């Protein structure tokens, strides 16, 4: 009669032999591809793997951008997955950046096909600039006289001074851009406008 230990030992030996046999059979890449596809198509088999191992397998399988795009598109159509994913600031930033880039690319294609669009955009941007300057001057013209009897704390004065420095920096930048034709935002001005 066999004891419980012997049964366990025999069972463990069988698992080791089967594992070796599968390893030997899957040395051929074509066989490995078919076996992998078959194994991963069994939900109960995949779900018995530890989560970290499933994540590793998914990363391996999605190294190809075309595959990753297809999988990501399908996964993000699941509301719960999309909601959880968008809670990650880095992911949300990357998605927003991609949306912006796609919109910019579409705009560029439209501009190439219809040059009149660029003229319309120019007019709108010109009106925005003139309107912003006018609105700023009008707002100051309305607010500054009303401050006549008000007293500001040192912190409030400092905050207003920093805001004036931002406005002055932005106005100087705009003026220089108009004179030189260079409309890029340098790092120092970007930090000033961010308040750094």
CA–CA distance, 70 with 78 (Å, rounded to integer)? 13
Domain boundary among 42, 61, 80: 61
Per-residue model confidence (pLDDT) at position 192? 64
Per-residue model confidence (pLDDT) at position 178? 87
100 and 125 in a single domain? The answer is no
Helix (H) or strand (E) holding 1: none
Range of the domain at 17: 1-61
84 and 127 in a single domain? The answer is no
21, two tokens: 């046999």
CA–CA distance, 190 with 174 (Å, rounded to integer)? 13
SS (H, E, C) 111-178: HHHCHHHHHHHHHHHHHHHHHHHHHHHHHHHHHHHHHCCCCCCHHHHHHHHHHHHHHHHHHHHHHHHH
Per-residue model confidence (pLDDT) at position 188? 62
126, two tokens: 């010109």
Rounded to the nearest 5°, which phi and psi values hold at 149?
A: -100, 10
Per-residue model confidence (pLDDT) at position 29? 75
15 and 47 in a single domain? The answer is yes
Q: Which residues of the chain have pLDDT under 50?
A: none
75 and 51 in a single domain? The answer is no
74 and 102 in a single domain? The answer is yes
165 and 176 in a single domain? The answer is yes
Per-residue model confidence (pLDDT) at position 123? 92
1 and 54 in a single domain? The answer is yes
pTM reported for the whole predicted model: 0.46
133 and 185 in a single domain? The answer is no
The number of distinct structural domains making up the chain is 4
56 and 72 in a single domain? The answer is no
2 and 55 in a single domain? The answer is yes
Residue 29's Cβ-side half-sphere holds a number of Cα atoms within 13 Å equal to 0
Measured CA distances, 75 to 12, 83, 92, 127, 151 (Å): 38, 11, 15, 43, 57
38 and 5 in a single domain? The answer is yes
Per-residue model confidence (pLDDT) at position 166? 87
Q: What angle do CA 143, 155, 142 make, to 5 degrees?
A: 0
54 and 12 in a single domain? The answer is yes
């Amino acid at each position: 009669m066999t004891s419980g230990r012997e049964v366990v030992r025999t069972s463990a030996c069988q698992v080791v032999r089967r594992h070796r046999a599968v390893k030997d059979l899957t040395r051929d890449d074509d066989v490995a591809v078919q076996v992998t596809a078959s194994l991963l198509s069994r939900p109960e088999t995949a779900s018995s793997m530890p989560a970290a191992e499933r994540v590793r397998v998914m990363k391996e399988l999605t190294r190809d951008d075309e595959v990753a795009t297809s999988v990501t598109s399908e996964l993000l159509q699941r509301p719960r997955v999309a909601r959880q994913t968008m809670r990650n600031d880095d992911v949300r930033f990357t998605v927003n950046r991609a949306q912006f880039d796609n919109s910019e690319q579409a705009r560029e294609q439209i501009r190439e096909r219809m040059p009149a669009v660029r003229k319309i955009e120019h007019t709108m941007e010109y009106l925005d600039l003139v309107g912003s300057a006018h609105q700023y001057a009008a707002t100051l013209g309305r607010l500054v006289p009303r401050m006549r009897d008000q007293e500001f704390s040192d912190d409030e004065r400092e905050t207003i001074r920093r805001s004036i420095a931002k406005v002055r920096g932005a106005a100087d930048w705009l003026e220089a851009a108009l004179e030189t034709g260079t409309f890029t935002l340098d790092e120092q001005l970007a930090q000033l406008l961010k308040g750094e």
